[in-house]
A and B are shown apart, each in its own frame.
Chain A
Amino acid sequence: MSTMTRPVTEPEARTSPDATPRTRPRGWTVLLWLVVAFLFVNLAALVLSVVVDSFGTRWFGTWLPESFTTHWYADAWHEFALSHVLLVTLEVALAVVVVSVLIGVPASYVLARRSFPGKRVLMLLFVLPILVPPITYGIPLATLLYRWHLAGSMTGVILANLVPAVPFVILTMTPFIEQIDPKIEAAARMCGAPTRVVFTRILTPLLVPGILAACILVLVRTVGMFELTFLTAGPSSTTLVVSLYNAVFAAGIRANQSVDAMATIYTASMMVLLIVALRFVNPTQLVTRVREEPTE
């Protein structure tokens, strides 16, 4: 029936124009991308106006500022004690990352591998801190931390930020661990490896990509976490976001441009973090494992 020379796949795929749902530009997609592009241009302009302002001398009622300068950055650096704030931000974020991974990964191992009475309740317990917005539990938590004399200190800020971070690590790592064949651990045990060695020499190397991804995401979330830090931080333990927010509300005394300069610094550092993050994580893998043809 078919001739020998006929290449099989291509013509068959084309016999009917609708036979394959391959994404070929259709009317609605073109329109969609135009809308998305339009909105994106607006968003870019939005960001750009902040950046332009942070470099401008005086900008009032014109398309562009009168002239450009970088002295707002120097001002912001001194006025807002940015070197200290950045250091605090970094310390808080790193502490949260390390502790949440140390606490979260073992827990997600158990959740991925075992079934035991009360597992569903425990799962719910770990989902809630992510589901419930920070401000809700942040207020009583901050009240408690004040009572324990921890609020205002770095410890307080770190503890508060750990509340969503630990469950976040658990939720991202559990599916990741699930996809590692438990037989590999069984094999290691049969080779005589005790639990500790199974963790250090077998699981950890296999989990590195997942842990790295979780780390970066926790880092991004912590650096960007406004509410919890805002509620628990004192003058010496303020992170960049909170300091930025405070600066906006103190803007009466300070030039708007130095606030913008600070916002630009904040956004630039977040963007670097996120772009690094996206190099390690396929963002869609966070919910389900992607089932795609292995191209790209």
Chain B
Amino acid sequence: MTAGVSSGTSPAGPSTSRFAELRLEGVGRRYGAQTALEDFSLSIKGSEFVALLGPSGCGKSTALNCLAGLLPLTTGSIHLDDRRIDTLPPERRGFGMVFQNYALFPHMTVRKNIAFGLQMQKVARAEVARRVDEAVALVQLGEHQHKMPGQLSGGQQQRVAIARAIALHPPVVLMDEPLSNLDAKLRLEMRMEIRRLHQDLGLTTVYVTHDQEEALSMADRLVVLREGVIQQVGTPQEVYEQPVNSYVAGFMGYRNLIDVDVTGGDAEHAVVEGGGLRLTGANRGVRSGAAVAAIRPEDLVIGETDGNGIEVTVRIAEYHGRELSVEATTEQGRSIYFRTPERVAPGDRVVLGVPRHRVLVFGDASAAREAVRAGLES
């Protein structure tokens, strides 16, 4: 942290990021024979919000800890512009970090927690006080600033943790599942808060989460990981609409996975049959033989579409306000999940349709199922 940085910029106004690119090259981490992270290469632009997404054990936290310097790499390197930083200890990388369980210093007041990093930078006392005031105001903790962490609620503790991380005006803020210990309502609120801080301060953020909805709603770019290997990097829209493989599809909410055989089609479209169904979908690299057709519940509509028609009987209909979440079965007993604004009731027979480009045909079925399970469990 240089004097030039700390003097002028106000955390309230948008600050330009102080670097162009944070680059990870072939980063890997092994524990003995076990590989937690393999060949992780990623380039993060200044002011970008990147989410690392995957089920527990996929290596996303390992990647974050390697980036932070808390875990030494076993392969690869990390560069901030032209400076190699993976050889630096965490305290000299100057990144901010927010932990899942907040990791507040239990023996210090809120203010002292926030001031700690500034003191480590040998910032002058008056300046420390000013910047702590700013940070406290930013996360709206004014009335709690003299309390000890133990006296605060989970949400308040999380605000302290965020304030502590950003008080330093770090070039990069790392967040390790920061919302997973909060209840659902608070989580939504804090999500907005973090996004707001990111936009206002222009902080480069790397955010680890297992919650696809959280990742989609917050990040500029997503990195989906599986067993330590990157599956897909892309904008929320790309990952959501164009998953590159069945694993990512399964994890991104393609809940209907239908085992099929490829019977026709071309490079763009595939015609598949199975379980008494015949569908035409977007070909994702299959030629013939066994495949899986992945369809998101919200892409199914009532009434045949694009020549795709699935006849089902409604079994369970959950009320979700504007729409119903429905589990139905085909004649052959296969479960199909869909969402509809129409009021269907158990026992109703309906024909569902889906546009061709919303049926994704992948080769590898087991990976998709694994992802769906992981997504449901996490």
Contacts and interface: CB of A to CB of B under 8 A. Distances in A.
Whether chain A touches chain B in the assembled complex (some CB pair under 8 Å)? yes
Interface in B86-118: 89-92, 94-97, 99-101, 103-107, 116-117
A186 B91 contact: no
Of A187, A197, A202, most buried by chain B (CB within 10 Å of CB) is A187
A128 B95 CA distance: 43
A190 interface: yes
A193 interface: yes
A183 B107 contact: no
A191 B93 CA distance: 10
Contact of B168 (A181, A186, A191, A202): A191
A192 B103 contact: no
B120 interface: yes
Contacts of A181: 101, 103
Nearest to B120: A192
B192 interface: no
A162 to B, nearest CB: 30
B99 A183 contact: yes
A162 B316 CA distance: 72
A207 B55 CA distance: 35
A205 B69 CA distance: 24
Interface SS of chain A: helix, strand, loop or mixed? helix
Contacts of A188: 105, 116
A258 B268 CA distance: 105
A183 B168 CA distance: 19
Nearest to A202: B105
A194 B93 CA distance: 11
A289 interface: no
Contacts of A195: 89
Contacts of A183: 99-101, 103
Contacts of A187: 97, 99, 103-105, 161, 164
B260 interface: no
Contacts of B100: 183
Contacts of A191: 91, 116-117, 120, 164, 168
Contact of A189 (B1, B90, B107, B161): B90
A193 B104 CA distance: 14
Contacts of B107: 205-206
B165 interface: yes
Contacts of B89: 189, 194-195
Interface SS of chain B: helix, strand, loop or mixed? loop
A193 B168 CA distance: 12
B105 A192 contact: no
A184 interface: yes
A194 B107 CA distance: 19
Interface in A232-249: none
Nearest to A191: B117
A294 to B, nearest CB: 14
Interface string A197-217: 100011001100000000000
B105 A184 contact: yes
Nearest to A186: B70
A296 B107 CA distance: 24
A183 B99 CA distance: 7
Contacts of B174: 190
B106 A206 contact: yes
Contacts of B121: 192
B99 A186 contact: yes
A148 to B, nearest CB: 40
Contacts of B105: 184, 187-188, 202
B99 A192 contact: no
Of A189, A193, A195, most buried by chain B (CB within 10 Å of CB) is A189
B68 interface: yes
A181 B174 CA distance: 19
A209 to B, nearest CB: 11
A192 B168 contact: yes
Contact of B91 (A184, A193, A205, A206): A193
A129 B14 CA distance: 61
A183 to B, nearest CB: 4
Interface in B310-362: none
B91 A192 contact: yes
B103 to A, nearest CB: 4
B180 to A, nearest CB: 14
A110 to B, nearest CB: 16
A197 B68 CA distance: 18
A192 B106 contact: no
A185 to B, nearest CB: 8
A206 B100 CA distance: 20
Contacts of B90: 186, 189-190
Nearest to A204: B107
Contacts of A197: 120
A201 B117 CA distance: 12
Contact of A186 (B94, B103, B116, B164): B103
Nearest to A190: B97
Nearest to A187: B103
Task: Kindly list the 9 A-B residue pairs having the minimum CB-CB distance in the complex, ordered from nearest.
Answer: A191-B117, A183-B103, A192-B120, A190-B97, A187-B103, A189-B90, A205-B107, A189-B91, A183-B99
Interface of A: 181, 183-184, 186-195, 197, 201-202, 205-206
23 contacts: A183-B100, A183-B103, A184-B106, A186-B97, A187-B97, A187-B105, A187-B164, A188-B105, A189-B70, A190-B68, A190-B70, A190-B95, A190-B97, A190-B117, A190-B174, A191-B91, A191-B120, A191-B164, A192-B117, A193-B91, A193-B117, A193-B120, A206-B107
Given A192-B94, A192-B121, 15 more contacts: A186-B70, A187-B97, A187-B99, A188-B105, A189-B89, A189-B91, A191-B116, A191-B120, A192-B168, A193-B91, A193-B120, A194-B89, A197-B120, A205-B107, A206-B107
